[in-house]
Amino acid sequence: MLRKGITESFGAAIHALGSSQLTDGVINRSKRMMLDTLGVGLLGTRTAVFNKALKYSQSFSADQRSSVWGRSNVTLPPHFAAFVNGIAVHSMDFDDTWHPATHPSGAVLPALLALAETMPSRPTGLDLLLAFNVGIEVQGRLMRFSREAYNIPERFHPPSVVGVMGSAAASAKLLGLSPAQCRHALAIAASSAGAPLANAATQTKPLHIGNAARRGLEAAQLAQIGLEGNQAVLDMCSGFGVYYKDYSPSAMAHSSSSAFKWILEEQDVAFKRIPAHLAMHWVVDASLAARRKLQSKEGSFDVSRISRVTLHVPPSKYINCPFPASEHQARHSFQFNAGSALLDDKVTVASYHPAQINRSALKELLSKVEVRTPEDNRPNFDHMYCEVEIETAQGLSCTARCNTFYGHWRKPLSQEDLLDKFQMNASSVLCTEGVEGLMHVVGNIEKITDCSALYSFLRHTSSCSEEELCDYAIRTS
Amino acid sequence: MLSTLQKSLKAGQAVRGLHKSAVGVLKRPTPEDTVTSSFGKFISEIKPQHLSPVVLHRSKRMVLDSIGVGLIGSTTEVFQLVLQHCQHMYAPDNISFVYGRRGTKLSPTLASFVNGVATHSMDFDDTWHPATHPSGAVLPAVLALSDMIPAHSKPSGLDFLLAFNVGVEIQGRLMRFSNEAHNIPKRFHPPSVVGTMGSAAACARLLSLDPSQCSHALSIAASLAGAPMANAATQSKPLHIGNASRLGLEAALLASRGLEASPLVLDSVEGVAGFSAFYEDYVPQPLESPSDNGHVFLLEEQDMGFKRFPAHLGMHWVVDAAASVHEVLVGVDAGKVSPSQVQDILLRVPKSKYINRPFPESEHEARHSFQFNACSALLDGEVTVQSFSEAAMNRPELLALLSRVRLEHPHDNPANFNLMYGEVQVTLAGGDILKGRCDTFYGHWRNPLTNESLRKKFRYNAGAVLPSERVEQLIEVVEDLDRHENCRVLLSQLQ
């Protein structure tokens, strides 16, 4: 077994990376990621899956407790706080997406916040930001070890593969582990990686992120008390390589060398405007554009006149769902998202409510939707497009194409729109003080020495919103 | 590798022509048609009367061996480490017992975690064909869950055994879905793949979940399965079993609370991998519903291998072969075997990277080293628990022999526990050649340990941490387990 020193280089980098290496570009981008993740997570605490996980987690007790986002009177053992908060983040498929494809922040931030709350010497905002970026960076590096990772997945759900490694790396960083311990944290985490894609588009998908967060944290803590794994886990095909069909790892440059560059500096993330699989964003933008075209041609828009809708999309089975039966399936359905956009002239958080999914007008429209997968439309978030063609009974036809949706890394959300999204999400659970407090703390996190305000804002619920939460969860479970 | 996988998937679809249309994306299969739902139905509907006498007998042997191995495993460093971790992270919840720690309790999932770690900590636990360690993933979870169930509704001994057997059966069934699983693993460590599923199934059974919940338990568990082989022969390997146990239990508990997951996780769906993600070739088969005629458990047809010493199963062949050479050597030159007698040692063994270690540096590596085990057996005539102590590992005589070992991988020696053999060829200083060969070691399913040998192993293991009266009581309780109205009799002996 050839040891190429790759795992070693990762251990060294995780240990040695310092806040002085954080560039302005990276600080900026990662703060946006943190804010978006918190907002999305807060909104997610209203979901049925979150409430099931919370109920389950409450059967555990511990001396150490960490905050549950959006709950003023509930705390959990740190691992379970990381678990449920991670689930909240991914519960509505509303969290950030990167290229190669994964949801990087949800696997890392919940673990870090839960851990930080229990550390005897409280980390500063800059410590948190650094650890967060280490967790993101490790994920980005790992995905570049295979060509398979660049395309929309078919086998393992990427957050379950790289997410747990990122969480382990970030937690190891915050704990200040030695290079050897950092290596072992990665090795231990590797044995907790890998969930099959079949659970995407189901209620269990969010647990992939929740588990990535908690088990990465666990791996770092086990490494801290001396548990050892395979020190060359990243070097070996029978190590981290098992999750990929092609695997070609390379070492990380030394953090202090000029060769070191954060991936986030060169490759931004996408923030979602709608709580659905990333590919849906192309579909929605194209559908809305086609609808506008038809409306201007005909003077008005009448959905009953539509005879056929053809979607030209990349091939990917798990997001090809003609008649979704649940909100989870609806978030993973080309057809549903096109149909909703055409019917309502918008797609929002409310579009995935069971009542909305079951509308007969929508179902009728869905029966007219066809999906085509052109050869040149690659299942890859950097290259795909969506073309929507609407045909009317009168013989009229309108086509619109979306190459880059608004929110994609090539066309990032403006700061104003990102803050708007956060405010909308966070205020569903927190009072104004909490919402604005979080915006302020995260916006200035690199300058903040005491992060306890962060936790108290995360729990600044409005008095009646918690009762509402329970009601909502019961009604939709 | 990509093209092989695609070819196999296509072949799988052709073979399952009957179900092909049902599994297409556009037409959703009715629940009754899927492999996944057949598994859920089986777990939910199987009854104690379906356990044949043979299966009862064999599984009780497994329960006994597993407890013993877990008890001695509670003396290992890795066990101390994870126990400390769990106690630090979570206050004692005084619910479920911990092997070898009288009075210590943990929450059920954590108890199953540490007890699972204990069970696999010395690689002393049972091994099946196709290859996995079935009991360690299932028993700790079933025990912890039984502790959790309130006193007035505790399962009977027979219910307990049924749940245990369901956990083992599901693992066996899943491994038969691929050719890859029949050989010594290269990619994923099997207990981390099927063990989690087995634990989920066993716990779902014990919790009396309905068929749909049982299916979801399996599906949730699939998202918790899978650890790479690279961590075998390290201190983290035992966690694969510990995690299989705890996460399977967790999956069942989550399913009982209504969490749902993919209804097709065991089925073969092109473009969206479910449980198939862990295999290069995958052809699933549905489980028949247990009928009045009864269900034939795999354990009826394929017995379990129990280990005589704590090392990877492959080691048992070379040890038996080397021991026979030792006998001859000792006969020739009465007394000890000395390295000066030996010029060259040739081992003819199957090809498997992770058990080929010329100079192991830790006990974990030593348990996964053809070379180490052959030389220990050559020197001592046997391999025991003590053979892996630091002192034993660092003996100069042993190191001298290790430097004279070569390996050969004959074509007729496949990396398969049902077909492999071990051959040890020693060239003596004078030029004479001694050969030993083992096709079936004592303890293999073709040559099972006698009840006496199994009990002897248990007495040694359990006696490391329990007083002898308890040890004897445990033997009795497990022997009579199916006749006990309440499994408390077993649990109370372990508290």
Place of tokens 């956990």: B167
pLDDT at A429 over 80: yes
* HEC per residue, B207-238: CCCCHHHHHHHHHHHHCCCCCEHHHCCCCCHH
* HEC per residue, A180-217: HHHHHHHHHHHCCCCCEHHHCCCCCHHHHHHHHHHHHH
How many CB atoms sit inside 10 A of residue B293's CB?
8
Query: Which residues of chain A have a CB within 8 Å of the CB of B234?
Result: 187, 228-230
What backbone phi and psi angles, to 5 degrees, belong to A156?
A: -105, 145
Q: CA A207 to CA B453: how far, in whole Å?
A: 45
Mutate to test the interface with A, among B89, B270, B351, B362 (most CBs of A within 10 A): B89
Name the residue of chain A whose CA is nearest to B269's CA: A198
pLDDT at A475: 43
pLDDT at B28: 52
Q: Do B220 and A204 touch (CB under 8 A)?
A: yes
pLDDT at A46: 87
Helix, strand, or coil (residue A6): helix
pLDDT at B439: 97
Low-confidence ranges of chain B (pLDDT < 70): 1-32, 88-94, 291-293, 332-334
Mean pLDDT of A234-259: 89
Q: pLDDT tens digits for A165-180? A: 999 999 999 999 999 9
Q: CA A275 to CA A92: how far, in whole Å?
A: 5
Q: CA B56 to CA B50: how far, in whole Å?
A: 10
Count of pairs with CB atoms under 8 A, one residue in A, one in B:
202
Q: Which residues pair with B188 in a beta bridge?
A: B228
Place of tokens 């997951």: B261
* Lowest pLDDT segment from A248-262, A463-477, B231-245: A463-477
Mean pLDDT of A16-37: 91
Of B230, B217, B239, nearest to B117 by C-alpha is B239
Mutate to test the interface with A, among B94, B260, B351, B368 (most CBs of A within 10 A): B260
Six-digit token pair at A284? 């929605």
Q: CA B160 to CA B484: how far, in whole Å?
A: 10
Mutate to test the interface with A, among B272, B356, B362, B363 (most CBs of A within 10 A): B272
Length of chain B, please?
A: 495
Mutate to test the interface with A, among B149, B236, B351, B352 (most CBs of A within 10 A): B236
Q: CA B113 to CA B199: how far, in whole Å?
A: 11
Q: Do A191 and B231 touch (CB under 8 A)?
A: yes
Q: Do A239 and B228 touch (CB under 8 A)?
A: yes
Does the pTM surpass 0.90? The reply is no
In sequence order, which residues have a C-beta less than 8 Å from that of residue B453 and are 6 or more positions away?
B308, B442, B443
Q: Nearest CA to CA, how far is A443 from chain B (Å)?
A: 32
What backbone phi and psi angles, to 5 degrees, belong to B355?
A: -115, 15
Mean pLDDT of chain A: 91
Q: Do A199 and B223 touch (CB under 8 A)?
A: yes
Determine the straight-line distance between the first and last CA of chain A, rounded to whole angstroms.
Answer: 50
CA A269 to mean position of chain CA atoms: 10
pLDDT at B6: 35
Six-digit token pair at B343? 């010029």
Q: CA B136 to CA B466: how far, in whole Å?
A: 20
Closest Cβ–Cβ partner in B223, B278, B353 for A204: B223
Does any domain span residue B20?
no
Kindly state whether residues B299 and B319 are assigned to the same domain: no
Does any domain span residue B473?
no
Closest Cβ–Cβ partner in B2, B230, B235 for A233: B230
Kindly state whether residues B236 and B348 are assigned to the same domain: no
Name the residue of chain A whose CA is nearest to B265's CA: A198
Domain end marker among B419, B438, B457 = B438
Query: Which residues of chain A have a CB within 8 Å of the CB of B271?
Result: 154, 315-318
Range of the domain at B334: 313-438
Name the residue of chain A whose CA is nearest to B220's CA: A204
Kindly state whether residues B301 and B332 are assigned to the same domain: no
Does any domain span residue B454?
no
Q: CA B96 to CA B147: how far, in whole Å?
A: 5
Six-digit token pair at B292? 């009045």
Kindly state whether residues B134 and B262 are assigned to the same domain: yes
Burial B465-478 (b: 16+ CB within 10 A, else e): bbeeebbebbbebb
Does any domain span residue B472?
no
What backbone phi and psi angles, to 5 degrees, belong to B265?
A: -60, -30
Of A209, A196, A389, A391, nearest to A290 by C-alpha is A389
Q: CA A204 to CA B200: how far, in whole Å?
A: 15
Query: Which residues of chain B have a CB within 8 Å of the CB of A62?
Result: 89-91
Name the residue of chain B whose CA is nearest to A188's CA: B236
Kindly state whether residues B343 and B373 are assigned to the same domain: yes
Q: CA B179 to CA B184: how far, in whole Å?
A: 11
Kindly state whether residues B231 and B126 are assigned to the same domain: yes
Does any domain span residue B11?
no
Helix, strand, or coil (residue B426): strand
Host H or E run for residue A370? strand A369-372
Does any domain span residue B176?
yes
Say yes or no: ipTM exceeds 0.85.
no
pLDDT tier at A472, thresholds 50, 70, 90: very low
pLDDT at A260: 82
In sequence order, which residues have a C-beta less than 8 Å from that of residue A167 and are 6 or more positions away?
A82, A107, A108, A111, A135, A189, A212, A213, A214, A215, A216, A217, A219, A220
Kindly state whether residues B168 and B304 are assigned to the same domain: yes
Kindly state whether residues B114 and B216 are assigned to the same domain: yes
Q: pLDDT tens digits for A179-195? A: 999 999 999 999 999 99
Name the residue of chain A whose CA is nearest to B244's CA: A192
Host H or E run for residue B299? helix B298-301
Q: Say if CB B221 and CB B243 are below 8 A apart.
A: no
Query: Which residues of chain A have a CB within 8 Å of the CB of B235?
Result: 227-229
Q: CA A189 to CA A164: how far, in whole Å?
A: 6
Closest Cβ–Cβ partner in B222, B273, B353 for A155: B273
CA-to-CA separations, A179 to A184, A343, B286, in angstroms, rounded: 9, 56, 48
Of A157, A104, A469, A91, nearest to B259 by C-alpha is A91
User: Sheet of A397-402: strands edge to edge?
Assistant: A369-372, A306-312, A386-392, A397-402
CA B305 to mean position of chain CA atoms: 10
- In A45-103, alpha helices (H): 48-57, 78-90
Query: What's the CATH code of the domain at B180?
Result: 1.10.4100.10
In sequence order, which residues have a C-beta less than 8 Å from that of residue B99 and are 6 or more positions away?
B67, B70, B71, B73, B74, B79, B114, B115, B118, B119, B465, B494
Kindly state whether residues B277 and B147 are assigned to the same domain: yes
Q: CA B89 to CA B96: how far, in whole Å?
A: 16
Number of folded domains in chain B? 2
Q: Do B227 and A317 touch (CB under 8 A)?
A: no
Query: Which residues of chain B have a CB within 8 Å of the CB of A248?
Result: none
Of A221, A228, A208, A195, nearest to A78 by C-alpha is A221
Q: CA B426 to CA B434: how far, in whole Å?
A: 5
pLDDT at A3 over 60: no
Query: What's the CATH code of the domain at B421?
Result: 3.30.1330.120
Helix, strand, or coil (residue B397): helix
Name the residue of chain A whose CA is nearest to B239's CA: A191
User: Which runs of E-coded beta strand occur in A111-249?
Assistant: none
Kindly state whether residues B246 and B210 are assigned to the same domain: yes
Q: CA B451 to CA B434: how far, in whole Å?
A: 33
pLDDT at B86: 75
Kindly state whether residues B140 and B253 are assigned to the same domain: yes
Does any domain span residue B321?
yes
Kindly state whether residues B236 and B119 are assigned to the same domain: yes
| Omega before B130 within 30 of 0, i.e. cis | yes
Q: Do B235 and A228 touch (CB under 8 A)?
A: yes
Six-digit token pair at B196? 């989690």
How many CB atoms sit inside 10 A of residue A98's CB?
25
Q: Nearest CA to CA, how far is A315 from chain B (Å)?
A: 9
Length of chain A, please?
A: 477
Q: pLDDT tens digits for A117-153? A: 999 988 999 999 999 999 999 999 999 999 999 988 9
Place of tokens 């439309």: A377
Does any domain span residue B25?
no
Q: Say if CB A53 and CB A84 are below 8 A apart.
A: yes
Long-range contacts of the stretch B20-27 (C-beta < 8 A, 24+): B23/B264, B23/B267, B23/B268, B23/B269, B25/A317, B25/A320, B25/A321, B25/B269, B26/A322
